[in-house]
Amino acid sequence: MMETDAIGENHFLADVLRLRGAAQVMMAEGAEPVGLLQAAMSAEIACVLRYSLIAVSADGLENEWVATECAAQAADEREHMVRLAARITELGGKPDYFAAHLATRHLPPEATKGCLPRLFTENLAAEQCVIELYRELSNHFSGHDPKTQAILDDILADEETHTSDMEDLLQTQLI
Ligand SMILES: [Fe+2]
Ligand SMILES: [Fe+2]
């Protein structure tokens, strides 16, 4: 499986795969909405960290397009995080911003110079996993919580844009 091969040292993908798996278990067990939204919010925190880290990496600082693209993407991901946090609060939960278990807190040392193609390939795999997470969550909320589903669908549309942006970058800037 491509996904499994791609995990390797891809901490970003490992984080979102783990969170998607946790959400799948919670959905199967009929967990409360807050727990599901927290899994998505933790994935968004991983995204904010990832794109912020790359924007100010050695490559990011040397390549203006990296800083611009990654900073814009980090801003989108932060907006997603806040929308989910707001919905968790509306539903009576308490959003957890700490995200203690995220491996994405650190860029691997070898990712500081000359690693952009690899980093963006990793980003693409992780974004594709995030899309699957949002599709599954949207289906789960379909029919009984239209407000949450609308938020998830809005975010899903943004994630699809992120994925196509990443594909474009890999085919243009990183060849
Ligand atoms: Fe996002
Ligand atoms: Fe994204």
Sequence spans of domains, the chain? 2-172
Cβ neighbours for 144, distance < 8 A, ≥ 6 positions apart:
none
Task: List the pLDDT tens digit at each of the 175 positions of the chain.
Answer: 444 444 457 889 999 999 999 999 999 999 999 999 999 999 999 999 999 988 888 888 888 888 899 999 999 999 999 999 999 999 999 999 988 788 877 666 555 567 888 889 999 999 999 999 999 999 999 989 999 999 999 999 999 999 999 998 888 887 6
Compute, in angstroms, the gap from residue 7 CA to the centroid of ligand 1: 19
Compute, in angstroms, the gap from residue 113 CA to the centroid of ligand 2: 23
Compute, in angstroms, the gap from residue 123 CA to the centroid of ligand 1: 12
Whole-prediction pTM = 0.91
The two tokens of residue 91 are 């539903």
Q: Cα–Cα–Cα angle for 25, 8, 27, nearest 5°?
A: 10
Compute, in angstroms, the gap from residue 123 CA to the centroid of ligand 2: 9
CATH of domain 2-172: 1.20.1260.10
Distance of CA 49 to the CA centre of its chain: 9
Compute, in angstroms, the gap from residue 28 CA to the centroid of ligand 1: 23
Separation of alpha carbons 46 and 53, rounded Å: 10
Identify the nearest ligand to the CA of 126 by its number: 2
Compute, in angstroms, the gap from residue 132 CA to the centroid of ligand 1: 12
Quick one: which of 30, 150, 160 has its CA closest to 84?
A: 150
